[in-house]
Structure 1
């Protein structure tokens, strides 16, 4: 009976999570498609896309993390049937996401000199610079899209973002194919073509998302009578108070993985290309946990609105259990296929690249064995973070993630990667250490808070805000 009360929630969790998972996979697929198509040109181009995306991913993590503040407020308002609260969270969230998108574009555009300061290969920097200019601009539509997505997620309508991302991906692959290789009347633009494909597909994704949400009968009332004159300082402050710590949590993790890319770059282009292959694959499986994290945020937010704290704990733990089961399956697949998967990212038929590619495959294979283990820790920490955001508890988790990733994880990555023979594998062992510490202490935080809510529900707000 003990386990059954958690497993009976699996179907509700998956119903809410699977569209988010497919949507998240779609976002990741944009990067994977770029990597596979560009990898066919050469390892220097693949390393350049890796380096360019490392800057963009940091900024994107801030945008995505910030936008998650919209979901728990909307989910709570929806459970309370408070249309005013939902409307305010959506409209104010969109305003803040637009401003943030512009800021992030500017920051990435002017951050390009960092590549030289971090001693990245000059050949790679020359290729990465024009790629970064365009992909940085795609952050604006990307973050605006997140505003729409988090609103729809909070209303438990998770399929719309999935549809938008699928449409966007089809367009992205077609444009990439034509612009990277110069098909039909289009010029051969190499990795700049990949960047342009990303911009065009993301702009169309936002337009499509606005259209399908505004046509929904339940959501239609939220798409009328919006003006900047209605913007309230109190709601801007509330979203920012939740959004900033959430964006810092994502920033700390993504920056750790970016540091791994840069450390790998200092070991040479083969290590950097191998790191990118392993990271692409690990990112795809991580999206399943990210989808469950959104389900945790929405369902916990709803239970908080209903003030059913015992059921809140059961629902959240059922999502944690489901994440562990899924990540163990992926871990076993990585172990079984660690020598096979890297070949899909490289042109193994090109004789001139044979030696380079063999080295990349060897390094990537060993990284996938480490990735197999850290998937489990990574999955746990992200779903527990989702549950804590649903509780609107963000400050203490931000401290936990900073200590786990940067006080524990990064020093281990740096020492083992640079000062021992483990090299790229040592860098990933540091990632594993940071994620495991984060998973453990975030769960302890969730357990402490929810037990306290069940015993004395009216004192929770002192903890959560």
Structure 2
């Protein structure tokens, strides 16, 4: 097949993906704003934000993973023109995400004492605890927002979540500025002020997306609730069957990045601060890949609903090729700007030098990191989630983490050794997931071709 068969899909892929990219970048920008503003207070407060968010990111991966189950089901129902089934998935998804938000809030509160037993600098832990307590509560509005976002994404209406996230960023920055530094009538709360800004912005997000979606004609019939059929166990089971493995996939990946935070913390405050800077920058480029991953889920899910497996495979491969090109550009950018980017966060010379070294490694794993998340998105569109979960576990925890531990703790590489482990895990994940998609999509295509004569006989 000629290259143009894939590149001609780039425009449509980007049209669906760019609002998701900007929306996901908006989530990271909340962390960026916190990091930059808190970084002016010193290395210890910046390391505390990193440590507190390490637990939050684990909880977030579980919650978002469950919410991702909504998108392929909505996309498949939309492709089949079945509004009633789509509405049922939407309503049950909101209930599921609301329960998840409350559960994750309580889980984070119970997990606080863990921070005292991770061999972290004591002054960093003392600063992280109050920050964590406030941000934990924001999980409730954030999970509800995810339900509405994934629903809209499933209908290929990705821009509304983008609007909510970007405007919420402005809200977060304003309240950060007022509450971190004690501007005007507001008290100086420092780290707790950053957490309050995040909490306020997330309540704004859920209000905004609810208000804008319910007013749009395309969504109006989905917002008609009735008691009949509101709590169907079969629907919850379907959401759980897709959501739980997806949550585990995200947990395995986020957990290994979180492990780098803990490993870097055992090396000292400055290595941990440098790790946070490099991780935050890498997260921003990763969110672009996440946008294409959602696009792959939506478009593959639509083609699955239509049983058009030839276009399904071609469209999926076009998203893989597109993310490869984009992440290659980011990789070059990281290498060229490695000495300048860390200065946006902090003016500590040692932290800047360490972060610059980590950005070189981050540049290397941009390609595999982007590919693995987009391939996972395509597999999610096929509703294939169990086997990819096993792949993620093997890649990150059988391959990646042991390399991080050995090179980071047992050699002179330090933080760079930790990140070489990430490179190994992400590369293994991308390779194995591609093999899975290639095998599965070819089977579906060959099966459809084999059944075509039977369909013609029936029609005759």
Q: 1:363 aligns with which of 345, 354, 360?
A: 354
| Residue pair 2:71, 2:150 contacting (<8 A) in 1 also | yes
Q: What is residue 353 of structure 1 aligned with on the other side?
A: none
- Between the aligned partners of 2:176 and 2:374, the Cα distance in structure 1 is 33
- Between the aligned partners of 1:157 and 1:33, the Cα distance in structure 2 is 27
Instruction: Report the alpha carbon displacement of residue 459 of structure 1 after superposing the two structures with TM.
Output: 11
Instruction: Report the alpha carbon displacement of residue 457 of structure 1 after superposing the two structures with TM.
Output: 3.8
Instruction: Report the alpha carbon displacement of residue 227 of structure 1 after superposing the two structures with TM.
Output: 3.7
Q: 1:227 to 1:175 in 2, by over 3 A?
A: farther
Secondary structure in 1 aligned to 2:112?
Answer: coil
- Between the aligned partners of 1:395 and 1:2, the Cα distance in structure 2 is 33
Q: Report the aligned-residue RMSD.
A: 1.2
Q: What is residue 382 of structure 2 aligned with on the other side?
A: 391
| 1:73-92 Cα deviation digits (max 9, x unpaired) | 00000011101111011000
1:49 is aligned to 2:49: yes
1:175 is aligned to 2:175: yes
1:421 is aligned to 2:412: yes
Instruction: Report the alpha carbon displacement of residue 458 of structure 1 after superposing the two structures with TM.
Output: 10
1:326 is aligned to 2:326: yes
Q: 1:188 to 1:459 in 2, by over 3 A?
A: farther
- Between the aligned partners of 2:227 and 2:29, the Cα distance in structure 1 is 36
| Residue pair 2:391, 2:432 contacting (<8 A) in 1 also | yes
1:246 is aligned to 2:246: yes
Instruction: Report the alpha carbon displacement of residue 226 of structure 1 after superposing the two structures with TM.
Output: 3.8
- Equivalenced residue count is 451
Secondary structure in 1 aligned to 2:91?
Answer: helix
| Residue pair 2:77, 2:86 contacting (<8 A) in 1 also | yes
| Residue pair 1:98, 1:140 contacting (<8 A) in 2 also | yes
- Between the aligned partners of 1:290 and 1:73, the Cα distance in structure 2 is 18
Moved >6 Å (runs of 4+): none
| 1:253-272 Cα deviation digits (max 9, x unpaired) | 00000000000000000000
Q: What is residue 212 of structure 1 aligned with on the other side?
A: 212
- Between the aligned partners of 2:288 and 2:435, the Cα distance in structure 1 is 23
Instruction: Report the alpha carbon displacement of residue 229 of structure 1 after superposing the two structures with TM.
Output: 6.2
| Residue pair 1:91, 1:226 contacting (<8 A) in 2 also | no
| Residue pair 2:58, 2:255 contacting (<8 A) in 1 also | yes
Q: What is residue 310 of structure 1 aligned with on the other side?
A: 310
Superposition pairs for residues 60-459 of structure 1, below 5 Å? Answer: 60-227=60-227, 230-346=230-346, 348=347, 357-457=348-448
Q: 1:412 to 1:32 in 2, by over 3 A?
A: same
- Between the aligned partners of 2:20 and 2:228, the Cα distance in structure 1 is 30
| 1:236-255 Cα deviation digits (max 9, x unpaired) | 00000000000000000000
Instruction: Report the alpha carbon displacement of residue 217 of structure 1 after superposing the two structures with TM.
Output: 0.1
- Between the aligned partners of 1:178 and 1:228, the Cα distance in structure 2 is 47
| Residue pair 2:91, 2:230 contacting (<8 A) in 1 also | no
Stretches of structure 2 that go unaligned for 5 or more consecutive residues are 452-460
- Between the aligned partners of 2:212 and 2:192, the Cα distance in structure 1 is 31
- Between the aligned partners of 1:227 and 1:55, the Cα distance in structure 2 is 37
- Between the aligned partners of 2:164 and 2:336, the Cα distance in structure 1 is 34
Instruction: Report the alpha carbon displacement of residue 228 of structure 1 after superposing the two structures with TM.
Output: 8.2
- Between the aligned partners of 1:11 and 1:411, the Cα distance in structure 2 is 40
| 1:412-443 Cα deviation digits (max 9, x unpaired) | 00000001000000000000000000000000
1:28 is aligned to 2:28: yes
- Between the aligned partners of 2:145 and 2:450, the Cα distance in structure 1 is 36
- Between the aligned partners of 1:50 and 1:86, the Cα distance in structure 2 is 39
Instruction: Report the alpha carbon displacement of residue 409 of structure 1 after superposing the two structures with TM.
Output: 0.2
| Residue pair 1:70, 1:239 contacting (<8 A) in 2 also | yes
Q: 1:227 to 1:189 in 2, by over 3 A?
A: farther
- Between the aligned partners of 1:259 and 1:457, the Cα distance in structure 2 is 44
- Between the aligned partners of 2:28 and 2:449, the Cα distance in structure 1 is 41
Instruction: Report the alpha carbon displacement of residue 155 of structure 1 after superposing the two structures with TM.
Output: 0.4
- Between the aligned partners of 1:457 and 1:434, the Cα distance in structure 2 is 35
Q: 1:397 to 1:220 in 2, by over 3 A?
A: same
